[in-house]
Amino acid sequence: MALRRIVKVGDPVLRTVCRPVTMFDQNLHTLLDDMHETLDKAEGVGLAAPQVGCCRRFFIMHLGDMRIEAINPEIIKKSGKQRVLEGCLSVPNQWGYVTRPNKCKLRAQDRNGNWYEMTLTALGAQCTCHEYAHLDGQLFTDVVEEFVKPEDLEEA
Burial class of residue 113 in the structure, from the number of CB atoms within 10 Å of its CB (0-12 exposed, 13-18 middle, 19+ buried): middle
The closest alpha carbon to 48, from 64, 31, 63, belongs to 31
The closest alpha carbon to 134, from 91, 104, 93, 103, belongs to 91
43 is annotated as an active-site residue: no
Residue 3 in contact with residue 43, Cβ under 8 Å?
A: no
Query: What CA dihedral angle connects 145, 151, 155 and 156, to 10 degrees?
Result: 30
Query: Active-site residue among 131, 146, 154, 155?
Result: 131
Q: Which amino acid type is present at position 13?
A: V
Annotated catalytic residues are 131
